[in-house]
Amino acid sequence: MASREVQKLLFDMKQAGELIETFVVGRSFEEYRGDKLLQSAVERQFGIIGDALSRAFAIDPGLESRITSLRRIIDFRNRLIHGYADVSAAVVWGVLGTDLPTLLAEVEEPLEST
C-alpha cells in the first residue's frame, strides 16, 4: 500500500487526467489546435500530472514498475514547462489519446486498494 502522501499525489494525477478528458470530450484535433485556451488548460493539467508523478516517484521508487511510462510522463511535463515554445499541439493530442487512458487505469489500481 502506498503512503498517504503518495496516495494524495496519485489522486491529484487522476483528477487532472479526468479534467483533461472533460475538457476535450467531443472535440476534434482541429478544434483543439485552434483553441489556445483549451490547449493551455490541457497542458496545465498535464503539468500537474507530471509534477505529482515526479514527487510520488521520489517518495516511492517502486512506482516505476507500476506506471508504464513513468519517466516519459515526467519528461513530457518538463518539456511542457521548460520547452513550452516547442510544444506541438499534435504531440499533446497524441499523448492525450493514447497514453492518458493507460495512465489513468494504472493510477486507479493503487487508489482502489486503500
Whole-structure pTM value = 0.91
Number of independent structural domains in the chain? 1
Residues 19 and 17: their CA atoms lie apart, in Å, by 5
State the pLDDT confidence band at 114, using cuts at 50, 70 and 90.
low
Average pLDDT over the chain reads 92
Q: What CA–CA distance (Å, rounded) separates 99 from 85?
A: 22
Q: Is it the case that residue 50 has pLDDT exceeding 80?
A: yes
1: confidence class by pLDDT, cuts 50, 70, 90: low
pLDDT at position 112 over 60: yes
- By residue range, what is the domain housing residue 96? 4-112
- Residue 101 CA: distances (Å) to CA of 12, 18, 58, 72, 98: 15, 10, 23, 15, 7
